[in-house]
Structure 1
Amino acid sequence: MVASSLPVDPLWPRAGSWPAAESIRGRIDLGLIGIPTWRTSLSPTGAYATPAAIREALRRYSPFAVSLEGRNVDELVVADFGDVDEPDGADGEERARAAMAGAAAASVVAVALGGDNAATVPAALGSWGENIGSAGLVTLDAHHDLRDGISNGSPVRRLIEAGLDGHRVVQIGIADFANSRAYTDRARDFGIAVLRRDELNRRPMADLMAEAFDIAGSGDGPIHVDIDVDVCDRSVAPACPASVPGGISAVELRAAARAAGADSRVRSVDLTEIDALADTPDGRTVRLAALCILEIAAGIARR
């Protein structure tokens, strides 16, 4: 186990091992919840093991960001809402939605750990509640996720069909040779704003995120951010079945996560599409996801 192999230093506290949410009185800054969907994945996956792996990886890091001035991550109230058991299927999805609603109501930002991208549906719907008509969605993803049916390839289509206005959906990182003409046309027909992977060759991630939040937040409703880690280059996200060479960098993903935490319109985030059982021996994909949680927390500290 990671925890038993790490050195102990009373002057170097570790992230993770946060208290259970029910033990916290008062407002929670960041609420963590596991939604380990995997049964409808288009690719074989062990994504059910990922929330536990990310929690373990958090222990490798300090809850202190040298780059922050003023309030820091180690001063935030962070709590763990546990995992939703068997969140796939209609019944499981409804339980996940209800659990996410509870986490979002109690937290400044609720962060859902997938699981594959099917987790985005209950995570977003639970966070938005009755505000879906004014809500916005920002995805960091190589794919449109507009497929027919119910799978990890359909969450954006399903959310739009549930009442989300497609004109308040922004997709960052959409990649060449990872999407079909039909689904690209569908994105256009829905009114989705697409900021392709090559936009990052010309503009920094902070600019793209700012533009995305302005579009997604135009209805004055809550924003959900879907961080599908397969948006990253395969060298840094080998445990994502659909990651491709030439995706975004780990630095860019971390910048996006911090921007999400910092924007007061963002009420919830999910991290999806990592198969912890397929990671490299150094655990680089899971470690990147753990750092994204800390980056979200660093953003919250800036609010």
Structure 2
Amino acid sequence: MASIDPLWPRAGDWPTPQPGDGPADVALVGIPTWRTSLSPTNAHATPAAVRDALRRYSFESPLRIVDVGDLTEVDQIRAIEAELLIALGGDNSATVPVALGRGARGLVTLDAHHDLRDGVSNGSPVRQLIEAGLSGTRVVQVGIEPFANSRAYAQRAADYGITVITRDELRRRPIDDAIAEALAIASDGDGPVHVDLDVDVCDRSVAPACPASIPGGLSAIELRAAARAAGAHPSVTSIDIVEVDATADAPDGRTVRLAALCVLEIIAGRQLR
């Protein structure tokens, strides 16, 4: 059990919204998707694990923050009254109900993969959103690893008009610069924009609980910086954190703890608006 110190307030344990409360500044929601994952996963266990990990950190905010529990349906997401929604996956299929529920007109993904596969799975959310009406010219994919994607899907991204910033490009430019460019393209002067933080964009040493993470990805501090930048952008109305299987984490819980820190970075960014 964590120690109790009134001078060291802990993150998490945010209240459930009540009727008549009005819109929150930030709402946390769990999206425990996993059944259509291409890799064996228990990602549905992750929202609860991240909520537990939040209590490891101290965080104070003047914002009104609520936790609406776990949901999965587009209409449920649409009914959440909050300026900014933070969704805890689940696998990457969680991106679809959140982006649709928030009416996203632009999309930024931090991901090793294009997620443009046919069918319905955690490998297809970007294609599904484009087929639902999202313009490919307002989609930016940051951190794409060419060795983790086929030529056919790279061509599909080009055909859709998606802007792609590869991992190799990120070796030569700061993550803040790349995210600023991505958000400018996705927002196109207005919102709403959804940001997908697929934690497998990180190096496998940082994110061992991500089934598809590989060596050579982003560092933990780069993902945290991207999360804060997304939270600070006025056009961003929803952000998901996905592809973490809490049951497959390292003994020190590093991946789940990184996901929890991304939640706090997003809220810290929202305070800068």
Q: 1:217, 1:265 within 8 Å by CA — same for their partners in 2? A: yes
1:75 is paired with a residue whose SS is coil
Q: For residues 261-272 of structure 1, what are the structure 2 equivalents within 5 Å? A: 261-272=231-242
Determine what percentage of the aligned residue pairs are the same residue.
66
Q: Find the counterpart in structure 2 of residue 92 from structure 1.
A: none
Aligned with 1:83 (options 70, 91, 114): 70
- Deviation, 1:27, is 3.0
Q: Find the counterpart in structure 1 of residue 26 from structure 2.
A: 30
Residues 60-91 of structure 1 deviation map (CA, whole Å, 9 limit, x = unaligned): 00114xxxxxxxxx21111001002xx4xxxx
Q: 1:136, 1:219 within 8 Å by CA — same for their partners in 2? A: no
Distance across 2 between alignment mates of 1:235 and 1:32: 27
Amino acid across the alignment from 1:228 = D
TM-score for both structures, normalised by structure 2: 0.98
Q: Find the counterpart in structure 1 of residue 255 from structure 2.
A: 285
Distance 1:297 1:24, change over 3 A: farther
Distance across 1 between alignment mates of 2:110 and 2:149: 14
Q: For residues 187-266 of structure 1, what are the structure 2 equivalents within 5 Å? A: 187-218=157-188, 220-266=190-236
Aligned with 2:84 (options 109, 129, 134): 109
Q: 1:31, 1:109 within 8 Å by CA — same for their partners in 2? A: yes
Q: For residues 45-64 of structure 1, what are the structure 2 equivalents within 5 Å? A: 45-64=41-60
**Structure 1 residue ranges, 4+ long, deviating more than 6 angstroms after superposition:** none
Amino acid across the alignment from 1:287 = R
Verify: 1:184 aligned to 2:154, yes or no: yes
Amino acid across the alignment from 1:81 = V
Q: 2:191, 2:236 within 8 Å by CA — same for their partners in 1? A: no
Distance across 2 between alignment mates of 1:289 and 1:24: 31
Amino acid across the alignment from 1:300 = R
Verify: 1:118 aligned to 2:93, yes or no: yes
Amino acid across the alignment from 1:100 = I
Question: Structure 2: where are the runs of 5+ without partners?
Answer: none
Verify: 1:99 aligned to 2:76, yes or no: yes
Distance across 1 between alignment mates of 2:79 and 2:18: 11
- Deviation, 1:22, is 2.1
TM-score for both structures, normalised by structure 1: 0.88
Distance across 1 between alignment mates of 2:214 and 2:20: 41
Q: For residues 124-203 of structure 1, what are the structure 2 equivalents within 5 Å? A: 124-128=99-103, 135-203=105-173
Amino acid across the alignment from 2:66 = A
Distance across 1 between alignment mates of 2:204 and 2:156: 26
Q: 1:174, 1:194 within 8 Å by CA — same for their partners in 2? A: yes
Verify: 1:20 aligned to 2:16, yes or no: yes
Q: 2:106, 2:139 within 8 Å by CA — same for their partners in 1? A: yes
Residues 223-272 of structure 1 deviation map (CA, whole Å, 9 limit, x = unaligned): 00000000000001000000001000000000000000000000000010
- Deviation, 1:24, is 7.2
Distance across 2 between alignment mates of 1:107 and 1:264: 13
- Deviation, 1:23, is 6.4
Amino acid across the alignment from 2:221 = V
Distance across 1 between alignment mates of 2:247 and 2:39: 13
Question: Structure 1: where are the runs of 5+ without partners?
Answer: 65-73, 88-95
More helix by share: 1
- Deviation, 1:30, is 1.0
Count the aligned residue pairs: 273
Distance 1:24 1:179, change over 3 A: farther
- Deviation, 1:117, is 0.2
Q: 1:260, 1:266 within 8 Å by CA — same for their partners in 2? A: yes
Distance across 2 between alignment mates of 1:57 and 1:98: 28
Amino acid across the alignment from 2:88 = L
- Deviation, 1:219, is 6.0
Verify: 1:299 aligned to 2:269, yes or no: yes
